[in-house]
Structure 1
Amino acid sequence: MSKQRGDLFLLKVDTTGSGAYVTVAGLRSTGIKARLKTVDVTSKDSAGTRELLDGAGLQSFTFTGAGVFDSGTAHDTVRSLFLGRTRRNWRIARGDGSTVTAPCLVTALDYAGDHDGEETFSVTLESAGTVTFA
């Protein structure tokens, strides 16, 4: 497997719901976490071993991004989606051309800044529907 440049790993949002994605401005880092909450079907007949139900469970994905504050329209959109508790389609574009797309809610939007540095922000998204890999 070949190595990929991190700057090609981009967080994008469909700002209007029309299918047109824009890159969230000023990101220095992005990430994806995939989780599965399992269904435990262990019983007295399990011979002391945990058993999990095949094909069951709750899948969830968390998307994160952090970077330098930018007063551009993409940042304004993220803030308004958070304040409005509005679900939109988000996309992670990877350096190899693959994408992960899912409807998400913005669950955290943080701002920080030092007296002698730039203002930074971070955003956390939680999947709120089917996640598509392409």
Structure 2
Amino acid sequence: MGAQKGKDLLIKIHDGTNYVTVAGLRSRKIAFNAELVDITHAESADRWRELLAGAGVRRASISGRGLFKDAGSDALVRTAFFSGLISDCQVVVPDFGSITGPFQIASLEFAGEHNGEVTFDLTLESAGALGFVAI
């Protein structure tokens, strides 16, 4: 995969009919994490840590920062957060693929300077199994 435009990394939320791109994002990120299960014991070779393969909990976090640009996607995000909904989301990574699955908005923050626009920060946490489709 060669260099890609950051603006082509998209975060989308399903509105019941289609995936709607969260508009106005200036930065976005998806992170995958796995908890490790340490099974190290007194007889571990040279006291090196040992891990139990496939035993930890996996999760994904999506975050973004931007400004309000589209009333439809703004309302979708706001409704999902204040209702505590778990929404079907999709992250499109150019020339790589798309990650799809259930996410809940864990954080929605607003900020503004007296001489600038109002911005928002958004964090979503995975709420179930995720799927991957290569592009």
TM-score by length of structure 1 reads 0.93
- Partner of residue 104, structure 1: 103
Farther-moved stretch of structure 1 (119-128 vs 88-97): 88-97
SS in 2 for 1:45: coil
Count, aligned residues? 132
Moved more, 39-48 or 25-34: 39-48
Unaligned segments of structure 1, at least 5 residues = none
Match of 2:19? 21
- Counterpart of 1:115, as a letter, is H
SS in 1 for 2:80: helix
Q: Give secondary structure in 2 for the equivalent of 1:44.
A: coil
8 A contact 2:24–2:70 mirrored in 1: no
TM-score by length of 2: 0.92
Deviation, 1:114, is 0.8
Is 2:105 aligned against 1:123? no
**Secondary structure of residue in 1 paired with 2:43:** helix
How far, CA to CA, are the matches of 2:42 and 2:97 in structure 1?
45
SS at match of 2:3: coil
Q: Distance in 2 between matches of 1:22 and 1:60?
A: 23
The answer to whether 1:53 aligns with 2:52 is yes
Q: Which amino acid aligns with 2:73?
A: A
Residue 76 of structure 1: aligned partner: 75
Give how far 1:71 is off. Answer: 5.3
Identical-pair percentage: 39
Partner residue in 1 for 2:8: 8
Structure 2 gaps of 5+ residues are: none
Give me the CA root mean square deviation: 1.3
| Equivalent-residue separation in structure 2 for 1:127 and 1:55 (angstroms) | 18
